[in-house]
Amino acid sequence: MNVAQIRKDFPIFERKVNGKPLVYLDSAATSQKPLAVIEALDHYYRTYNANVHRGVYSISEEATEAYEKARDKVQAFIGAARRESVIFVRNTTEAINLVAYAWGRANIGAGDEIMLSEMEHHSNLVPWQLLAAEKSAVLKHIPVLDDGTLDMDEARRLVTERTKLVAVSHMSNVLGTINPVQELARLAHSAGAVILLDGAQSVPHMPVNVQELDCDFLAASGHKMLAPTGSGFLYGRVELLESMPPFMGGGDMIRQVWLDHATWNDLPWKFEAGTPNVADMIGLGVAVDYLQSVGMQAIREHEKQLTAYTLGTLGELELVDIHGPRDPEIRGGAVSFCYADVHPHDLAQILDGDGICIRAGHHCCHPLMRKLGVSATARASFYLYNTEDEVDLLVKSLTKAGELFGVPAPARA
């Protein structure tokens, strides 16, 4: 994988911030876009912008074809058996809420149990809280161990015959931990429960095959995988999606409508009400092409190397506390850390002065922050366009921040 070549495909890296080159280390929040994706948006709006699925005229036909071809690309990307399994949504949050509303309300009852974990992003926590409150269901949480992995012994104890759903992060956006989701799927299925994976951080960064994982639902964000904001998808097992009532009602998800009732369209459109983000999904298809041309395994290897390098160099700094597993084999490229008692806001501010973008705060994981005993962390996250040089710049800038805030000069091991 030629990173220098890849970087040339991303126009934003020509940009300077505060006179310095842009060092973008926040891909866990959103990813940068290759020219091909940007041009696809432009091309759609310039030459064949039209609504989909209804028009008889040529450009509507072109738009529909491009939109549906993007679906086929996503299907192939995640190894889904049928295109009916791929529902286009705005982002991971919407995908999970779709399941909570359409599957949850029909399948969860009083006393039923939903198993989550202590490391979940709010988007894979709050929808289930809302559902549990409405249905008097019980939420259970797999604890996170000190090394940043899930307590699987406890997970096995927590699952009962009342467990109806297991919903977990495939890869943590704070700890980087890649969870043993195949084992969790076996655990869920043996109890007759359904498993949903939050793939927001995994799908963009490693090969994901839904049949190998044997998951029932997988939620992902297109904008985290080189695609435009407003793009995302839900994978669902066809039998489940068939059995579910609709999520949103309206145009395109219906077959026939009378004044007092309606019948539903086939999958996948049953779950795509109203005019979709046509341009953004076409962009998602182009993003998938780009990722496939680089190769997801190559991307995973690259990020493993970068993460190992970061754990090494950043870890060498005294008073740096890195969260999550030490083994790059079981973690992805999100590295959260604390540096002495310099607050992450201040770290991020100083780094911004050097053109470096990191994230500071709770990363939408308040319970995990409480578990870690911190009020906030800084987070650097990597993607296919990042380099070791950028990690060196990060470390250099951090020591500068340390100096300003009176941290004792770091001694390299």
Instruction: Assess whether 364 carries a catalytic annotation.
Output: yes
Rg (Cα) of the chain, in Å, rounded?
22
Structure tokens at 152: 């699987």
The closest of 333, 346, 354 to 377, measured between CA atoms, is 346
User: What does DSSP say about strands 113-117 and 138-142: parallel, antiparallel, or unpaired?
Assistant: parallel
Q: How far is the CB of 40 from another protein (least distance, A)?
A: 31
Structure tokens at 262: 């309606």
Mark residues 292-331: x for contact with another protein by CB under 8 A, - for none: ----------------------------------------
Q: Applying CB under 8 A, does 357 fall inside the site for another protein?
A: no
Segment 68 to 127, residues that bind another protein, using CB under 8 A: none
Terminal-residue alpha carbon distance, the chain: 31
Q: Of these, 56, 406, 411, 413, which contacts another protein (CB under 8 A)?
A: 406
**Amino acid in the structure at residue 116:** L
Q: Applying CB under 8 A, does 404 fall inside the site for another protein?
A: yes
Q: Of these, 12, 38, 240, 376, which contacts another protein (CB under 8 A)?
A: 376
CA 287-359-166 angle, to 5 degrees, is: 70
Mark residues 7-36: x for contact with another protein by CB under 8 A, - for none: -----------xx-----------------
Bridge partners of 16?
Answer: 21
Complex with another protein: residue 21 or 55, whichever CB lies closer: 21
Q: What is the 3-state secondary structure (H, E, C) of 9-74?
A: CCHHHHCEECCEECEECECCCCCCCCHHHHHHHHHHHHHHCCCCCCCCCHHHHHHHHHHHHHHHHH
Q: How far is the CB of 199 from another protein (least distance, A)?
A: 24
Q: How far is the CB of 320 from another protein (least distance, A)?
A: 18
Segment 335 to 354, residues that bind another protein, using CB under 8 A: 343-346, 349-350, 353
Q: Applying CB under 8 A, does 360 fall inside the site for another protein?
A: yes
Q: Which residues bind another protein (CB under 8 A)?
A: 18-19, 343-346, 349-350, 353, 360-362, 375-376, 400, 404-406
